[in-house]
Structure 1
């Protein structure tokens, strides 16, 4: 996945890998409950060249998370890089 991002000309300015504990995942994704449960499968058909379509396996292992609102971007970055890191 990283190679694909770099090959497309993007720069990765920060990177952290970890497995989310169930409680953290439930907290973070609570607002998305019931929203298009089969999105990775739909993404493969609608946009076959996207990271989610290329690397996502199912609704749990969907490869990537992208904020749905630009104004939430900073909060979500802080959640992963500050809150979960402490």
Structure 2
């Protein structure tokens, strides 16, 4: 069964010029891009998106980072999209990510790790409409 997930190319990877390479990796791994746009979050928008982490010690630095520059948000679709994209992203800490994963190739550290992806169907169901209306998703 086809599944959708949210992907974000984070400010560090956009600024470094890795967006095209990351998008190519997605397509080469069978993901269909159903929606895509480049935006810049305000601090308040980043706080709303990462609300699940509100009580975590990294919440403020994460939301500051995510509102520090342009990001590319995408809706990806394929069979097992959530699990497959998490595998393609690699471990949160790029130093621990498997060779050939997005984070191993393009991440700097545990926070500036190039990409975000939904971690469950419930997360995807919250995250996708945070950025896209139904009319924007092909």
TM-score category, normalised to shorter length: 0.5 to 0.7
C-alpha distance in 2 between matches for 1:9 and 1:29 = 28
The structure that is strand-richer by fraction is 2
Moved more, 12-21 or 42-51: 42-51
- What CA distance in whole angstroms lies between the structure 1 residues aligned with 2:51 and 2:122? 18
Structure-1 separation of matches of 2:105 and 2:57: 23
Give the superposition deviation at 1:68.
Answer: 2.4
* 1:29 aligned residue: 50
- State the TM-score, normalizing by the size of structure 1: 0.67
Larger relative contact order, structure 1 or 2 (CA cutoff 8 Å, min sep 6): 2
Report the CA distance between 1:25 and its aligned residue: 0.6
The 1:15/1:46 distance shift into structure 2, 3 A limit, reads same
Aligned length: 78
1:66 aligns with 2:87: no
Q: Aligned-pair RMSD on alpha carbons? A: 2.5
Alpha-carbon distance in structure 1 between the residues aligned to 2:99 and 2:57: 23
Alpha-carbon distance, 1:9 to partner: 2.4
Is the contact made by 1:56 and 1:63 (CA closer than 8 Å) also made in structure 2? yes
The alignment partner of 1:47 has SS state of coil
TM-score (norm 2): 0.46
Distance 1:52 1:23 in 2: 26
